[in-house]
């Protein structure tokens, strides 16, 4: 039985409308996912992105991956996010980068996409769907808005080993996650919703290396910045978070999954 906690979209909005989003940016970079632009290029290349394609980034946050994809691969991007502060910053930064002719943002829930069926060549997601309360519904929506033959590519924080409810509790609480999918679970969900699974990779080793870096950054380089700009309570929060996630990743209980599917 899946262990599900009572975190909702409101809890996610509280994190990203508050200092959480900027704290994440300070630690992970403007592309708020482990591995930064390199992992974005890895996903883009696996998907074979081509100039002129229309990509939907579900949970686009500050829009940094969208800008990367538009400027480097010549794709048009629609970004969807549920948090106003993230959307506002994404819009400002996209305008400043003069990419607003290629990228448009929409305020919406990932589980109820404001697009007609068969609109996109590619559905894209990076390390955010762990917040979504019903990932089956999300993949149903992804399938609906993809053109026939379209591709889905995403990474996410997942369960990659044996882990108890007691161990999951503090991890979920630190992130306001309702639940994480497993490596096998995502592949089953893709198939159940009509996708062919083209590739699935357990990238826990890379995820663990990133957490080793985040642990050092929070406790050494970034400590004065976090203390000064975010305060001691948020420093303690970040310190606890990187400590417990680093440990669970080293034990190969949690990590990053990478998935490519075709409609
Ligand atoms: C870790 S950030 C995403 C990072 C982004 N994909 C990137 O790589 O830069 C998580 C984002 O997901 C958004 N989010 C979480 N749950 C959502 C949902 N159900 N619908 C839409 N956006 C959601 C949050 O508002 C937040 O901006």
Does residue 16's CB lie within 6 angstroms of at least one atom of ligand 1? yes
Does residue 206's CB lie within 6 angstroms of at least one atom of ligand 1? no
CA-nearest residue, atom 27 of ligand 1: 61
CA 131 to mean position of chain CA atoms: 8
Does residue 40's CB lie within 6 angstroms of at least one atom of ligand 1? no
Helices within 8-53 (DSSP H only) = 9-17, 20-28, 36-47
Please compute the mean of the pLDDT values over residues 90-114 and round it to a whole number: 98
106: nearest Cα among 124, 83, 123: 83
Ligand 1 pocket mutation pick from 7, 10, 11, 12 by most atoms within 8 angstroms of CB: 12
Q: For residue range 43-63, list pLDDT tens digits in order.
A: 999 999 999 999 999 999 999
Looking at residue 220, its pLDDT comes to: 96
Does residue 128's CB lie within 6 angstroms of at least one atom of ligand 1? yes
Cα–Cα distance measured from residue 259 to residue 252, given in angstroms and rounded to the nearest whole number: 18
Which residues are paired to 55 by β-bridges?
77, 122
177 CA to middle of ligand 1, Å?
12
Cα–Cα distance measured from residue 156 to residue 256, given in angstroms and rounded to the nearest whole number: 5
Give yes or no for residue 115 having a pLDDT over 90. Answer: yes
Topology of domain 9-262 in CATH is: Rossmann fold (3.40.50)
Nearest atom within ligand 1 for CA of residue 24: 1
- Determine the 3-state secondary structure of 156 from DSSP: strand
Ligand 1 pocket mutation pick from 36, 57, 81, 214 by most atoms within 8 angstroms of CB: 81
Retrieve residue 90's tokens: 């994404």
pTM over 0.95: yes
Ligand 1 pocket mutation pick from 40, 59, 107 by most atoms within 8 angstroms of CB: 59
Give the CA distances from residue 202 to residues 52, 186, 207, 209, 239, in Å, rounded to whole numbers and listed in that order: 30, 11, 10, 14, 26
Nearest atom within ligand 1 for CA of residue 33: 8
Which residues are paired to 259 by β-bridges?
154, 200
CB 117 within 8 A of CB 146: no
81 CA to middle of ligand 1, Å?
6
Looking at residue 228, its pLDDT comes to: 94
Please compute the mean of the pLDDT values over residues 66-81 and round it to a whole number: 98
Q: pLDDT tier at 64 (50, 70, 90 boundaries)?
A: very high
159: nearest Cα among 176, 174, 177, 143: 177
Q: For residue range 157-183, list pLDDT tens digits in order.
A: 999 999 999 999 999 999 999 999 999
Burial of 255 (0-12, 13-18, 19+ CB in 10 A): buried
Looking at residue 21, its pLDDT comes to: 85
Cα–Cα distance measured from residue 26 to residue 208, given in angstroms and rounded to the nearest whole number: 19
């Amino acid at each position: 039985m899946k262990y599900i906690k009572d975190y909702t979209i409101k809890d996610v909005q509280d994190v990203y409308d508050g200092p959480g989003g900027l704290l994440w940016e300070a630690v992970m970079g403007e592309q708020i996912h482990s591995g930064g632009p390199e992992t974005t290029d890895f996903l883009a290349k696996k998907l074979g992105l081509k100039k002129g394609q229309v990509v939907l980034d579900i949970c686009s946050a500050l829009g940094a991956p969208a800008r990367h994809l538009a400027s480097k691969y010549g794709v048009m991007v629609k970004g969807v996010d549920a948090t106003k502060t993230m959307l506002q910053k994404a819009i400002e930064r996209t305008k400043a980068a003069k990419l607003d002719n290629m990228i448009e943002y929409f305020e919406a829930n990932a589980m109820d996409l404001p697009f007609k069926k068969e609109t996109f060549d590619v559905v894209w997601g990076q390390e955010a769907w762990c917040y979504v309360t019903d990932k089956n519904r999300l993949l149903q929506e992804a399938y609906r808005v993809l053109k026939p033959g379209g591709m889905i590519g995403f990474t996410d924080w997942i369960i990659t080993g044996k882990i108890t409810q007691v161990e999951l509790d503090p991890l979920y609480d630190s992130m306001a996650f309702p639940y994480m999918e497993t490596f096998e679970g995502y592949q089953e969900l893709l198939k159940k919703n009509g996708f062919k699974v083209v590739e699935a990779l357990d990238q826990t080793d890379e995820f663990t290396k990133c957490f080793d870096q985040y642990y050092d950054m929070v406790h050494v380089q970034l400590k004065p910045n976090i203390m000064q700009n975010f305060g001691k309570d948020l420093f303690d929060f970040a310190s606890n978070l990187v400590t417990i996630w680093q440990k669970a990743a080293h034990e190969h209980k949690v990590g990053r999954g990478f998935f490519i599917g075709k409609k």
